[in-house]
Amino acid sequence: MDHELLTWVAVGVAVLALLLAVVAWVRLRVVDRGLRALIDAGAPTTPERERLDALEGEVAALRGDLAQALRHVAVVRYDAFGDMGGRMSFSAAIVDDTGDGMVISSIHARGESRTYAKGIVGGDSEIVLTPEERQALDAARTGSED
């Protein structure tokens, strides 16, 4: 696989993760509005109480789904070798709210390209991360490029 295809794959995964996060967020907002309307209406009757309990359960489930969405994404491009230019290599980190996810790296050389994937649990990996992979992971978790 060449580096451009891998970049597009990483971008596609990121877009899909963001789309899923937006859908979960919209569903959460609709349920939250319904819950607030019931609360604003006053003390609920028994059937309203059951509906309110169901809505509270759905809101909790949606918050859990949203927390697990791989929606924190960062890509770091770099030159892996001194004789290569154009920052053709990259590391992409894709994680959820708890820091679980993956880092995908593609190292581009003149004659070949290699791709690596490392699992991330709780914001760290059992496999040693390169400085570029660590930079991508930190950027994804904090939302900053530094």
Give the pLDDT confidence score for residue 145 in this predicted structure.
66
Q: What is each CA distance from 37 to 1, 33, 34, 61, 89, in whole angstroms?
A: 53, 6, 5, 19, 51
Please provide the average confidence, as pLDDT, over all residues in the chain: 86
Tokens of 29: 């907002």
Tens digits of residue pLDDT in 44-92 = 556 777 888 888 999 988 888 888 888 899 999 998 887 767 788 999 9
For the chain, counts of helices (H) and of strands (E): 3, 4
Give the pLDDT confidence score for residue 44 in this predicted structure.
58
